[in-house]
Structure 1
């Protein structure tokens, strides 16, 4: 069987150092499907990095309109090819065609690309700041180096290395992208890459603006991550893999924006449980098992008080989990990791209430619910915060509100934290205590809604304190904020106006919001703010 080509330096070509090959697998059966894809060696990785580095200055100087045209043409190409893309992604991931892939994730992906194009045109991501007294002007600018993007297994479109938020953000900042596709969905990634390359040619961008590699071993991954020719890394995946890449990148001074793990604690306050415990049990089960639990915002730990309403909630939730059929997971690797995580939780003292076993055919695992007392959780907080990537959640039973706040204080950094309260206001004081402890430990604090799902909004924070990500100040979702990860802060001190970038000059023909002497304004300098 012929091995599929790589996209390197404007050419679809065979790997020049082929270290092996692999095929996608159908998760529902475990059978290999589709063509073979290359596991490439250092020669091919070096070729991609050299080509991207060589065009970085040219891309940084490219007119924003060309970049926006590429992003919009790519979005249109994806929509025109939606039927085939959905079929490929369904076969490789077992995610349902409707509504997940066709009605939710694919539109989210094209929306992200178009929002990035809008940010490119209005230059909002550049965040200009002008100090007229000191004659200092600064803005965010391209890195003049390529960005390496590692895509995860759980979003074949919206976080794909060749189409997702990291990709769109890096391109919007006028940086070349080297995409490392995830081996769980190579055919989907290949088709996206062909659409991206066609849009690139249409927009007249340098050929090495977009390149894609399918797979390489961990040693090569850390080698490229530590290459100073890289401008930045975007990674979504396992904590171990992300930290290895980050360590290599840190040693070379390469910024690494890594999303690592999160258990997304959910606090069910006593009044909320007494008021609507049965409904909350159903809502919790639906969230935990959505997408077979393979979301980075899955509710992995739920905190419930030891009282009659709490006991009723646990009993109701246990019934839902016990009656559920095994869920299909993305791969053998995901199944093995999930089984290991559940074993770790049980070894740390968690009791299995429902599920806990693999199923067949293919890669399946029963929705599983575990429970532990808060005293035990507080003695073993690290082990009992092990992320179980799949349809699994841990209940933590607290004695009272004070212990609930103690549990909140014991959490590591997470992407999200949720607090459910009663509609009559009876939980308001408790909310304040729990939120005070939880707020510094989560990127997004949610009220009365399960954490699964991430809205594509300029106000979204899909990030959080370590170890949910490597840096608490950046988001992987939401334009223009996500773009700023892949930028450099450029300051101009006493530079003549005609030599400044357009958004830092006195005239502001585009109506861009600029911070002039501490006041945000869209006026020309000398009219309104800063006058």
Structure 2
């Protein structure tokens, strides 16, 4: 069987062990498109892992300028190939070319690469700390091991295993990357990988710095995730898949940074509803159905007070959902899981207000709105927080602000939590009550804005308590914080000056920001007192 080649150890080659093959599908029709791609076996995974291990030390010692040069050259190559990339991604995902792919996501991907390069040049991710009295110095350093990156289906550029934030972060920390492409967009990933490899050769980095495999089965993936030669794993995808990989990694002591699932609760405080309920219904509908609801920050649960204003909001939102055409989903698998999620919500007591049906042709599902009283939600909090990945949301009707806080305390960990309040301050007390309950349960607390946007900012937290991610201490977006996931903390105790890494020495010609005796400084350290 003829398949597209893998990128392994500096060579585009056919698989050593071809287990099977697959093709991308056009989600709007359900029909296969493009060439066949290999489902590879253990021999190819082992070859990629050995090659990455062999260059890990060399890459860790590579000057920062060459790493930054690669990231910037890669960003430029993506921009130069933007038209072809956008066309491929559109065919494989059905995401709109304009503005989503061409004007939003592709620029976000190149911006991430350039922000990673900036962090590399400034050494910001190394976070140097110097204690002059104790003679101890520390910084973050490369893992000197490969990082395995799994890309999701919903961001073919900005989270692609070969181009997204996890990739950029791991490379910025000078670790080789083995990218596991998502089978929903293999041609897009292949084209990105070819640009990455060209930039790699241009910058003179080791050939096995960047490698890509398209797909392998669960057994091979679990074995790789649990291989002690790995330094870390970055994963965005389903809870079941992420937890299986994390279990294998945990058994081998490998850090696994997994983004799993989130329903991103939105609380509509009473004053906000009374002030602008009609506008909020439109804003909610637009957010829930954007990209057919296939965002990890989709507003999956909205908490709405009983009463005239709340009833009017529900009626307005229901009308929007009922009138909308079915949205195109990424794949048959997404459709199947979405239908299972809606069935779970209904079995747990949620009433269907609009939608709830698949459509034709291809993989489509009608925008769907469900509702449940707070009392039932509090009786079945686990099942009624089932993520329905698609244009689906659950309304939870509460009697007052106190019950809103009870509902907030019942939530599992989420990426985001949103509160809408009145502009005149009428909700200030309610905000405090609900926010105190919600804050420990979300990574990002949002005010008066739907959660679907994730800005690429150094202050962004795209993470949160379990089960939104594996643990609450990391972000998958925002440099330099995202880079620190793929680092080791190296401490130097009484080590001679000339043996220290450059950013820990007394002289600081690059002006790196360093925490010296509790104070951030960029200057040279003076001579030690006798």
TM-score, length basis structure 1: 0.99
Equivalent positions of 1:113-128 (< 5 A) are 113-128=113-128
> Paired residue for 1:263?
263
Q: Deviations over 1:418-461 (max 9, x none)?
A: 00000000000000000000000000000000000100000000
Please state how far the C-alpha of 1:100 moved relative to its aligned partner.
Answer: 0.1
Distance in structure 2 (CA, Å) of the matches to 1:508 and 1:429:
49
Q: CA deviation at 1:526?
A: 2.3
* Aligned counterparts of 2:401 and 2:261: Cα–Cα separation in 1: 27
What is the 5 A alignment of 1:164-243? 164-243=164-243
How is 1:12-51 mapped onto 2 (pairs within 5 angstroms)? 12-51=12-51
C-alpha separation in 1, matches of 2:345 and 2:525:
60
Deviation at 1:2, TM superposition (A): 2.3
Match of 2:479 in 1: 479
Residue by residue, what CA displacement relative to the aligned partner does 1:71-96 show, whole Å, maximum 9, x if unpaired?
Answer: 00000000000000000000000000
Residue 153 of structure 1 contacts residue 185 of structure 1 at CA under 8 Å; is this kept in 2?
yes
Report the equivalent of 1:422.
Answer: 422
Q: Distance in 2 between matches of 1:64 and 1:5?
A: 31
Deviation at 1:104, TM superposition (A): 0.2
Whole-Å separation in 2 of the counterparts to 1:387 and 1:324 = 21
Secondary structure of the 1:137 match is strand
Distance in 2 (CA, whole Å) between partners of 1:365 and 1:507 is 61
| Partner secondary structure for residue 104 of structure 2 | helix
Q: In 1, Cα distance between the equivalents of 2:2 and 2:496?
A: 58
Q: Is the 8 A contact 1:516 1:530 kept in 2?
A: no
Work out whether residues 517 and 530 of structure 1, in 8 Å CA contact, stay in contact via their aligned partners in 2: no
SS where residue 463 of structure 2 aligns? coil
Following the alignment from structure 1 to structure 2, what is the Cα–Cα distance between the partners of residues 46 and 358?
A: 41
Partner of 1:289: 289
**Do 1:65 and 1:121's aligned partners in 2 also have CA atoms closer than 8 Å?**
yes
Distance (whole Å) between structure 2 residues aligned to residue 44 and residue 219 of structure 1: 14
Q: In the alignment, is residue 456 of structure 1 matched against residue 456 of structure 2?
A: yes
Distance (whole Å) between structure 1 residues aligned to residue 468 and residue 80 of structure 2: 36
Deviation at 1:524, TM superposition (A): 1.1
Whole-Å separation in 1 of the counterparts to 2:525 and 2:348: 62
| 1:12-56, Cα deviation, whole Å (9 max, x unpaired) | 000110000000000000000000000000000000000001100
Q: Distance in 2 between matches of 1:98 and 1:258?
A: 30
Matching of residues 151-170 of structure 1 within 5 Å: 151-170=151-170
Cross-structure match for 2:358? 358
- SS of the residue corresponding to residue 37 of structure 1 reads strand
Deviations 1:344-397 (A, max 9, x none): 000000000000000000000000000000000000000000000000000000
Quote the residue 1:502 is aligned against. 502
Residue 323 (structure 1) aligned with residue 315 (structure 2): no
SS in 1 for 2:311: helix
Task: After TM superposition, give the deviation of residue 511 of structure 1 in Å.
Answer: 1.0
Partners of 2:222 and 2:413 in 1: how far apart? 25
Alpha-carbon offset, residue 205 of structure 1: 0.4
Contact 1:519 1:530 in 2 (8 A): no
Cross-structure match for 2:488 = 488
The residue aligned with 1:399 is 399
Distance in 2 separating the partners of 1:40 and 1:530: 62
- Alpha carbons 1:414, 1:468 under 8 Å: kept: yes
1:360 & 1:439 partners in 2: Cα distance? 41
Q: TM-score scaled to structure 2, two decimals?
A: 0.99
Aligned to 1:147: 147
CA RMSD of aligned residues (A): 1.1
Equivalent-residue separation in structure 2 for 1:486 and 1:143 (angstroms):
7
Task: Specify the alignment match of 1:522 in structure 2.
Answer: 522
- Partner Cα distance (1:246, 1:60) in 2: 25
Distance 1:181 1:247 in 2: 21
**Contact 1:419-1:447 within 8 A present in 2 as well:** yes
Do residues 105 (structure 1) and 105 (structure 2) align?
A: yes
Query: Separation in 1 of the partners of 2:381 and 2:69?
Result: 49
CA distance in 2, matches of 1:81, 1:462: 28
Match of 2:276 in 1: 276
* Other-structure match for 1:251: 251
Between 516-525 and 448-457, the greater mean CA deviation after superposition:
516-525
* Long gaps (5+) in structure 2: none
**1:439 aligns to 2:421 (yes or no):** no
Secondary structure of the structure 1 residue equivalent to 2:456: coil
**CA–CA separation in structure 2 for the residues paired with 1:512 and 1:350:** 55
**Contact 1:132/1:530, CA 8 A, preserved across alignment:** no
Q: Distance in 1 between matches of 2:248 and 2:265?
A: 31
- C-alpha change, 1:530 and 1:136, in structure 2 (3 Å) is farther
Question: In the TM superposition, what is the alpha-carbon distance from 1:525 to its structure 2 partner?
Answer: 1.2
Counterparts of 1:430 and 1:530, CA distance in 2: 57
Determine the C-alpha separation between the residues in 2 that align with 1:328 and 1:170: 33
Structure 2: distance between partners of 1:220 and 1:247? 14
Counterpart position of 1:310: 310
Unaligned 5+ residue runs, structure 1? none
Aligned length: 530
For residues 201 and 151 of structure 1, the distance between their equivalents in structure 2, rounded to whole angstroms, comes to 23
